[in-house]
Structure 1
């Protein structure tokens, strides 16, 4: 698992970080990521030093992820590029080419997790935006595209895999999956499990 902290950011002298991290965001991140409250606050200070307006653009995100994601054989990190493309597709809802601190921390946590079940549970909850405990077919496809992209697989391959697993798990045909069904089904898929154990989302052997 990657060892990371807010100190990875380049400190800039004279930068005023007027924005405080909302307590609701701090509480949510403490509960839903592996980072401690103190570590999250440290990350936030570094984030604002590099991104005073509270938004991180794709180039800065790429800079960060080049240090923590696997490089391809040619050294160009195309799998990391695909991961960023998927990431911004999910998070950059207003299309301005940037993400906020909370979204950045979610992505960072996702790349640092090593346990396959935890990765799947994290991904499920990210897409279960209304907290209903269920996801739809299209959301599962997006989850797979994100997980597969970091290893350089195409969107078509990820979509095909997701649809196959979803159809095998959706026994009542209502078009949704509950969290435990999703986790159990994904962990039973040898190809996906191998992908996750290999580091899947930006990891590596622990």
Structure 2
């Protein structure tokens, strides 16, 4: 049993090493600015709504609010998004979506996020962003106050598959993971 933990630790160490190499190759200063963040994740030339969402994502990753994402913030964010438990991810999404930081997500905040996610993903949808936002609020705003509390958000996301799917797509980092993995394979050959 101890051997399994050792193998797991080795794999995690190797993975973090690959993340570090990628981070430092893209950001030799060790501090990722907002502009570099957009470049790093391939998020350039976005419409204004999508750009605001990416800026909010940057500020959510920048945990110490110094205007940069350092390697530890980068690893913490990637670990949460890629390996975190659903409860942790939902809490992080809530923080990301609560743009004004007042502890609730109102219709306007959610609508802007949905528009941004759609702009980034470039998909056509059967329903408008407004219709989708209204449906989400109708389903998960339990007390009907026009705002989603953390509890309503987490519980609602667990029960509403469509909303959960949209959230998961809002931060799909599969292309980043494959980019990191392909760069590490080239460097180890």
TM-score normalized with structure 1 length: 0.48
Aligned partner of residue 49 in structure 1, secondary structure: coil
Residues in 1 aligned to 2:171 and 2:86: alpha-carbon distance in whole angstroms: 9
For residue 87 of structure 1, what is the aligned residue in structure 2?
Answer: 53
Pair member with larger Rg: 2
Aligned partner (choices 102, 107, 113) of residue 137 of structure 1: 107
Structure 2 unaligned residues grouped into runs of 5+: 1-14, 60-65, 178-189
1:94-113 correspondence runs (5 A): 100-102=67-69, 105=73, 109=77, 113=81
For residue 22 of structure 2, what is the aligned residue in structure 1?
Answer: 8
Give per-residue Cα distances to partners, 1:28-78, cap 9 Å, x unaligned.
xxxxxxxxxxxxxxxxxx857176xx7432xx3343113xxxxxxxxxx89
Residues in 2 aligned to 1:121 and 1:193: alpha-carbon distance in whole angstroms: 13
Note the aligned Cα RMSD (angstroms): 4.7
Cα distance change, pair 136–147 in 1 and its aligned pair in 2 (3 A): same
Structure 1 unaligned residues grouped into runs of 5+: 12-45, 67-76, 94-98
Give per-residue Cα distances to partners, 1:137-184, cap 9 Å, x unaligned.
222223434555553336974443222111232243322121121122
For residue 32 of structure 1, what is the aligned residue in structure 2?
Answer: none
Aligned length: 149
Cα distance change, pair 87–171 in 1 and its aligned pair in 2 (3 A): closer
